[in-house]
Amino acid sequence: MSDTLIFSMEVFLNGLMAGVLYALVALGFVLIYKASGIFNYAQGVMALFAALTLVGIMDGQVPFSHLINAALGTDIHHFGWHVPAFIGIILSMGVMVILAWIVQKVIFRHLVGQEPIILFMATIGLAYFMEGLGDIMWGSDIKKLDVGLPQGINIAIDEVTYGIFGYGFFIDNLDIVATVIAALLVGVLVIFSQYTKQGRAMRAVADDHQAALSVGINLNFIWVMVWSVAGFVALVAGIMWGTKSGVQFSLSLIALKALPVLMLGGFTSIPGAIVGGLIIGVGEKLFEFLVGPMIGGATENWFAYVLALIFLVFRPQGLFGEKIIERV
Amino acid sequence: MLDQTEGYVTADGRKIGGVVMDMRNITLRFGGVEAIKNISFDIREGEIRAIIGPNGAGKSSMLNVISGFYVPQEGEVWFHGAKRPQMKPYQVAQQGIARTFQNIALFEGMTVLDNVMTGRLNNMKTNLLQQAFWRGAAEREEVENREICEKVIDFLEIQHIRKTPVSRLPYGLKKRVELARALASEPKLLLLDEPMAGMNVEEKEDMSRFILSVNDEFGTTIALIEHDMGVVMDLSDRVVVMDYGKKIGDGTPDEVRNNQDVIDAYLGVSHD
Mutate to test the interface with A, among B70, B92, B107, B149 (most CBs of A within 10 A): B107
Identify the contact set of chain A against chain B, taking CB-CB distances under 8 A. 195-198, 200-201, 203-204, 206-208, 210-219
Does the beta-carbon distance from A200 to B105 stay under 8 Å?
A: no
pTM: 0.82
pLDDT surpassing 70 at residue A324: no
3-state helix, strand, coil in chain A (%, to 5): 75, 0, 25
Task: Determine the distance in angstroms separating the CA of A194 from the nearest CA of chain B, rounded to an integer.
Answer: 10
Q: Which residues of B touch A219 (CB under 8 A)?
A: 90
List the beta strands (DSSP E) in B137-270. Answer: 189-193, 221-225, 238-243, 246-251
Does the beta-carbon distance from B107 to A203 stay under 8 Å?
A: yes
CB-closest option in A195, A197, A213 to B90 = A213
Tell me what pLDDT residue B163 has.
93
pLDDT band at A249; cut points 50, 70, 90: confident
pLDDT tens-place string over residues B137-155: 777 888 888 999 999 999 9
Tell me what pLDDT residue A232 has.
92
Q: Which residues pair with B48 in a beta bridge?
A: B222
B124 touches chain A (CB under 8 A): yes
How far apart CA B63 and CA B89 sit, in angstroms, is 12
Query: Does ipTM surpass 0.85 in this model?
Result: no
Q: Which residues pair with B36 in a beta bridge?
A: B28
For the CA atoms of B63, B68, B71, B75, the dihedral, rounded to the nearest 10 degrees, stands at 70
pLDDT tens-place string over residues A159-218: 888 888 888 888 888 888 888 888 898 888 888 888 888 888 888 888 888 899 999 999
Poorest-pLDDT segment among A216-225, B3-12, B17-26, B137-146: B3-12
Tell me what pLDDT residue B2 has.
44
Mutate to test the interface with A, among B60, B88, B90 (most CBs of A within 10 A): B90
Q: How many other C-beta atoms can be found within 10 angstroms of the C-beta atom of residue A59? A: 18
Q: Which residue of B has its CA nearest to A201?
A: B118
pLDDT tens-place string over residues B95-133: 999 999 988 899 988 899 999 999 998 877 777 666 666
Do residues B34 and B72 touch, judged by C-beta distance below 8 A?
A: no
Q: CA angle at residue A46 from A40 to A47, to 5 degrees?
A: 120
Task: Determine the distance in angstroms separating the CA of B204 from the nearest CA of chain A, rounded to an integer.
Answer: 23
Does the beta-carbon distance from B90 to A200 stay under 8 Å?
A: no
The one-letter code for the residue type at B148 is I
Poorest-pLDDT segment among A38-52, A241-255, A311-325, B244-258: A311-325
Q: Is B1-96+187-272 CATH 3.40.30.10? A: no
pLDDT surpassing 80 at residue B266: no
Does the beta-carbon distance from B131 to A195 stay under 8 Å?
A: yes
CB-closest option in B90, B107, B181 to A207 = B107
Element (H, E) at B96: none
Q: What residue ranges do the domains of chain B occupy?
A: 1-96+187-272, 107-186
Tell me what pLDDT residue B271 has.
47
pLDDT surpassing 70 at residue A12: yes
Task: Quickly count helices (H) and strands (E) in chain A.
Answer: 13, 0
Q: Estimate to the nearest angstrom the gap between the alpha carbon of A80 and the chain centroid.
A: 31
B60 touches chain A (CB under 8 A): no
Phi/psi of residue A321, nearest 5 degrees:
-65, 160
pLDDT surpassing 70 at residue B267: no
- How are beta strands B48-52 and B221-225 bridged, if at all? parallel
Look at the alpha carbons of A224, A230, A234, A236 in this order and tell me if their dihedral is positive or negative: positive
Q: Which residues of B touch A194 (CB under 8 A)?
A: none
Q: Which long-range contacts does B255-262 make (Cβ < 8 Å, 24+ apart)? A: B257/B233
Buried b / exposed e along A152-177 (16+ C-beta atoms within 10 A):
eebeebeeebeeebeebbebbbbbbb
pLDDT tens-place string over residues A43-101: 889 999 999 999 999 988 888 888 888 888 888 888 878 888 889 999 999 999 999 99
CB-closest option in A214, A218, A219 to B105 = A214
SS3 (DSSP) at B42: strand
How far apart CA B175 and CA B196 sit, in angstroms, is 8
